[in-house]
Amino acid sequence: MELEAIPGVGAKTAASLRELDDPVATVESGDVAAIARAPGVNEARAARIARGAIRRRHGDDGRVLATDRARELYREAIDLLRERTVTDYAAKRLETFYPSASASRIAEAQSFAAAAADRDPDPAVREALADCAPLSDPPTVRVRDRCLATADAETLARAEAEVPELSVETVEDARDVSELGRSYASVIVLDESFAGLDVEGDVSVRPDALEAPAETVPERLLAFFAENRDRLEAAAAVHEAAAAAGDPVSGGGPPVALDRLRDALSRLDDDGTIAGDAELDRLTAAVDDLDAAVSTAASVADDRLREAIRERDVTIEGTDFLSLVEQGARVDSLLDRELADEYDAAVDAAREHLADALRLEPEEAELAERVFGGDPSFPVDHDESAVSRLRTELSAARDRRAAKLKADLASDLGDLRQPVEELVRDALELDVELAVARFARDFDCTLPEVVEPAGDDGGEAPPAGFRIEGGRSPLLDVDFPDVEPVDYGVSGATLLSGVNSGGKTSTLDLVALVVVLAQMGMPVPAESATVERFEEIHYYAKSQGTLDAGAFEATLRDFGDLVDGADGRLVLVDELESITEPGASAKIIAGILEALDDQDATAVFVSHLAREIRAAADFEVAVDGIEAAGLVDGELRVNRSPKKGHLARSTPELIVEKLADDRGGEFYGDLLEKF
């Protein structure tokens, strides 16, 4: 699949996507988090790319949501689902579900929703999800004690592109490599022509080094795990909580042994360095503390000598000491002549302190002995070259130990790289599934039956339309348990009549919501529902007052385009008569219904002009009614489910009827007869 062929993906976005390891597979997977790891692609953009890839895979090029109000209903449906997510990822991932005209896409989404609805949204799992987030790529780690070397220009360019963490040096012969060996702690030569090279330093010839980045630059893998430690631990907690709740994330268990993952992470510090190794900690501390330890050791020796001199001040005869001074004896001579044993003891104390403070091993302690022990002096002096030698040896031992531990840990983590991607993705996808499950439970949903449009096989059957049993809209401004259920079904062009505030608009909203959710592949808030697979959904909300001439003409153009369009449409219109004079409105609506009837479209027009429209139409217009039971204490009592083939009475008629019953009299009786 060409990336540019995905709707909404241009050349610039395609170039960013190609930075991913397997861009085509990643995009086709619909994994929003993985797509969002492309440079410059955020999660919202990734969701649109994933949705475009889904459309292309199913050949779904149409636009089901054909009007602003239809698109508003979709946003409200998505918001109901998004409100039940925990992670930002799941909220964005739900954007990949959209009302589709593709049978294969609807079936695919329904399969996902059916499995999701069976999930148990356990509170402990939701709590664990709170810390879950997509994995991120750490900044490039610069490793300065190691380099790559090559004599080939193409290999140089490839190495610089594939291993930005290391310097890549150009060499021509063994002398160049030898010089690098003195400058870097480790040198990896990429050219096989240097095989058998024998030079000083840690120099290896590895022509396959670029194919094994975990060995060549283990810091890359360690930085990834260090960067994502919290995310990995959160994902592991989600898997454990789900398993404890009896609803594991996946049937086969986590894709990685969680104890093994945690053990590996415990060996890694937050900055990507090795943690928890006593020997490495000892060597690191020895290098860091060397200067301070030398200074303290010298002070120990000075204190010993100072105490010895004080004691000798008491015991040496003044004439002897004066004679030494008159002879021009230096302090070191005095120490050598008079305090030789005490000086040796002070030096031994300094050496012992240095070895103890740095916790030196015996062979290291031998090097430390050379730091003290030169010509006698006070204060006691140390050999800086010996300190430098000791530092070099300790640093080399530290680096060797760190390199080995990094290589070992990278080897352990190497085969976990892909499984931990799955671990986190599965945890995040669980949040998507649990949002669907909560939606289904909160609104007593069922998975609808989405049927093919009647007549697709060339027959003359009427449109399938929709049928809703026990539907309750979660969009109403009342608590959902208090919403009255509605039964309603339509096949063909139909007028919906009823009293003011009887629920006609709410019924249209319910129908639109059920159809939108059904074609998203989601559960619908009803006891049962059957929905035709519509190519387009046209929902026209009630106009706010009479339109001026220009707006009226534009509205008629919209309906002209509507009736000239393709088959397989659902048309919902709320009180179109409000756009102009009632007489003209009735004729216009009658004409629109005639055209829709000719196309076997499914249409519901809410109108107070049902009688006038039927009179103006040249076919038998179906009329349904939301029947009012009457007025009780000034409040309207309504049967919310439309009654088929029934022209509902208007609110004024009900009021006149009530007055005629309550007060009697010829006036109210005559008025009632006019209805």
Annotated binding site for ATP: 498-505
Cis-peptide into 139, omega within 30 deg: no
Residue 148, beta-bridge partner list:
168, 188
Within a 13 Å sphere around the CA of 263, how many CA atoms are in the beta-carbon half?
8
Q: Token pair of 223, please?
A: 């930085």
Residues 6+ apart with CB under 8 A from 326: none
CB atoms within 10 A of CB 161: 10
Q: Token pair of 595, please?
A: 């055209």
Residue 605, beta-bridge partner list:
495, 573
Q: Which residues are annotated as a binding site?
A: 498-505
How far apart, in whole angstroms, are the C-alpha atoms of residue 100 and residue 510? 18
How far apart, in whole angstroms, are the C-alpha atoms of residue 489 and residue 643? 10
- Angle at Cα 52 formed by Cα 47 and Cα 53, nearest 5°? 100
How far apart, in whole angstroms, are the C-alpha atoms of residue 15 and residue 2? 12
How far apart, in whole angstroms, are the C-alpha atoms of residue 588 and residue 593? 9
Token pair 């592109």 is at which residue?
A: 161
How far apart, in whole angstroms, are the C-alpha atoms of residue 413 and residue 434? 30
How far apart, in whole angstroms, are the C-alpha atoms of residue 91 and residue 522? 15
How far apart, in whole angstroms, are the C-alpha atoms of residue 392 and residue 566? 82
How far apart, in whole angstroms, are the C-alpha atoms of residue 317 and residue 338? 12
